Structure 1
Amino acid sequence: MNSFFQQKIQSDWWSKSFAGICLGFIFALLCASIITLWAIQNLSQSLAPQLGMWSIPWIWLPVCFIAYFIPKGWQSILIFTVFDILAYGILCWMRG
């Protein structure tokens, strides 16, 4: 595990940009859907869509920023794909 954190950060910005912009946006949409489903059950139904909609940039921008600190581009694509699959699984579980 130490070798992962001691790797030199590579300059393959194309794959990191793809991971941050595309896969990060998908992750932000999935998280916003999860927030909306949670808010419908626990908050006012008129507030839930707004809370979900306005949570997208607060999730997407930090995720996009974090993509450039992962040592290699293929690792960032793999990590973000796993997070997308997990978020989709949680969303499907919440919807029943």
Structure 2
Amino acid sequence: MSTRPKIRPDWISKTLCGLVLGFTLALALVGLFAWFGPGSMAAGDKYQFNMWLLAPVWLSILSLVYLFRSGRRALLWLGGANLLAWGLLFLR
């Protein structure tokens, strides 16, 4: 038998973290890709590509948020990732 704690069913808090913090993290990640990806912001079709990239990134984060053990851990990890990603975006 494993002594690791089971994943608790904090569905509401995890879902809210995934929806709100996942969206802001997806915005920051897509923004980082827009600036540091191939062609930088000068690429012609990059605006359209980034617009379509936002939804899969956000939904990926939203689906992976349920792997956290608690809603609090999801809040802390996604909050930290948001701070890091937005900090890198503004330091660009």
TM-score bin (small chain): 0.7 to 0.9
Q: CA deviation at 1:42?
A: 3.8
- Corresponding residue number in structure 1 for 2:69: 71
Give ranges in structure 2 of 5+ residues lacking alignment. Answer: none
Query: SS of the residue aligned with 1:91?
Result: helix
Which TM-score applies when normalising by structure 1?
0.82
Structure 1 residues 7, 70: closer, same or farther in 2, change over 3 A?
same
* Aligned-CA RMSD value: 1.9
Which TM-score applies when normalising by structure 2?
0.86
Residues 49-87 of structure 1 deviation map (CA, whole Å, 9 limit, x = unaligned) = 112111111211111011111011110011000000010
1:1-96 matched pairs, under 5 angstroms:
6-39=4-37, 41-42=39-40, 44-94=42-92
* Structure 1 Cα separation of the partners of residues 81 and 52 of structure 2: 21
Query: SS of the residue aligned with 2:82?
Result: helix
* Structure 2 Cα separation of the partners of residues 40 and 8 of structure 1: 42
Query: SS of the residue aligned with 1:8?
Result: coil
**Which structure has greater helix proportion?**
1
Give ranges in structure 1 of 5+ residues lacking alignment. Answer: none
The residue identity in structure 2 corresponding to 1:69 is L
